[in-house]
Structure 1
Amino acid sequence: MTPPGDRLQLIDSLRGYALMGLFLVHCVELFELHWAHPQPSLAFDTVFALFAGKAFALFALCFGLSFSLIFERARARGEAPEARFAWRLFLLLLIGIAHSLVYRGDILQLLAPLGLMLLAFDRIRSNRLLIVIAALSFLQPPLIARAMAAAAGAEWANAPPLFMAESGTAMLTDGGFADVLRVNLLAGRISAWSYYVETGRLLQIVGLFLVGLVLGRIRFFSEPDRFVHPRRWIGGAAGVIMVGLWASRPWLLAAVDPSAPAAVVANVGWLLSGWIALCSLALQIVLFVEIFQALHGRILGHLAPAGRMTLSLYVGQSLVFVPVFYGFGLDLHDDLSGREALLLGLVSFAVQLVLARWWFGRFQFGPLEWLWRAATRRSLDIPFVRPATA
């Protein structure tokens, strides 16, 4: 049974797990420079199988969960949180835009504007209706419609995705810092948004927001002992469906008419990959909660400090490692093997865990978290330094 004081620790630990997975993906991906000279690697394949698309999705789910917790606490204080939350998202968007100039793979510029939809969905009090809307989002009607249009020969549906075109990658590998900022300002942003839209990530995020909102409302993570049997049933079903989809994926893709345009196969592939990732995410969440509960947070709880300062660490990771891999810095993108990049990521994240634990022994918020909170409340009277204790 989870002690009351550990309830938030489970959520923070889960958020720290998402941060770890996303960081390891970025490391083996060389902060996107892997695609400039892709090399086969067992380390790359393993990390992508475990975390690619899943860690990102877990961040989106936690975003909806955090929304639910913020609104629950604000309403308990008798406040109307809508205007402040919208302002909070605007500030997050500014942080994301600034971050995307350095690293085009930034997800904050995507989560922030989409987060405004939660203000509308929060007015829907039926959790069942929210789950139905989430399920429809996961079905990805746009991908299905585009595959059908491509099969019918529609020119727009068969056009190559924008993110597949050259979008200034050479500037990232060989250009200076000013070149990186310039190419990420427009070409990088178009490429990133094209990827989110055309592969179905955008609609998937909406569905994950809603799932997170519902899980927060029913206190799925705050009172985990109430959901032991439903949680295990969901985990088992997700595992079976994931294995079934993964095993049948080659057959399903091969079943597509061989004379069909390549865009049909691409859209079907993105559709199946999205469903597999969602099932994998559900299974990983269930396993994480089960292990956390069984060990009373003794091991996985070490991820909690990182989960409390995800914004600072997420942005800080790019500020440190983009210069490590990119041409204007140490230029290691073509010197490290996949295994070496993974090892670098594991060691670096361990250092981040130690740093986060040390930080919260002295401060109450991460540096960016404090600035974000202070700007949201438009006040500097937010306690930052942890008061001394006897």
Structure 2
Amino acid sequence: MARAYNFNAGPAAIPLEVLQQAAEQFVDYQGAGMSIMEMSHRSALFEGVNNEAQALLKELIGIPDNYQVLFLQGGASTQFAMLPMNLLKAGRPAAYVKTGAWADKAMKEAQLIGETVVAASTESDKYMRMPSLSEIVVPSDASYLHLTSNETIGGVQFHEFPDTGDIPLIADMSSDILSRPIDVSKFGVIYAGAQKNLGPSGVTVVIIRDDLVEQSPKDIPAMFRYNTHAKASSLYNTPPSFSVYMVGLVLNWIKGMGGVGQLEQYNRDKTKLIYDAIDQSGGFYRGAAQTGSRSFMNITFRLGSEELEKLFVKQSEAEGFVGLKGHRDVGGLRASTYNAVPLESCQALAQFMADFQKRNG
């Protein structure tokens, strides 16, 4: 079977070994005579799947004991609203770092709930860089500081995080969770849609500190309270069971790869191939993001004209490459090199880029 060179921004590549394992277990999961999709979420088998996935995530990124792991629905976009519903206090603004479309969407949702302030913004640079830590100014009475660790559209990424002291630091890590080691204890909440680095769409991971769980107000619907889901171990209502099962398989794959530290080096090796193809092209390819903010998950670049970019996409698709067209809001080209994208795919893309330049340079 010929596998595509999948550089989609999301839903994105899933490890082939994981897909094969899921296929083997699809009809009959562990002798139950049914698929994981068919069985009750109250069954002992599924509770084992749910508990194992939580435990693996805690192990792989070192989540402290005073944090909960929740598997929720609605994607990161629901978290844009759920966070301020639970944590934005009257008279204490929520601070947001504006670094691109996703950070902007998160802030707009919070503005519907309560007062917000901009702690830093790179809009004047067309979101082609991340702010330095010194640029981030957080009010002393802020309810929390929210940032987006990696912006998929611009291809920019935070390479270090601010120390916010007693003010909870909230991070949308949808597009780079588990791509590198992080100190979870620096954050009050980390959330991520699964469809980029964790598995298929349908489940959203929320890592939240216990004291913030306890702040869930009683005057919002139960489904939007973090404590509702924490008390029920994410089984308050019927969960996206197949997606949770797939996340567990992906987490086991990461463990088998040697853990997050090994995966970080693997990701750096992959992206170096493509960034080198850009930087060593003599200007034929131009990186879109500023060098110091370049993402190791989403590589954005341009050619000399839109016509040449369209030709690049057309010819790359003919060679089996998928997902290299840039986001419609910014144009250009983009290669998303999430955890599951094989090194061989990046080697093939770097070679295609060199060949394309020879033909059109």
Fold conserved (TM > 0.5)? Answer: no
* Structure with more strand by fraction: 2
* Structure with more helix by fraction: 1
Q: TM-score, normalised by structure 1?
A: 0.22
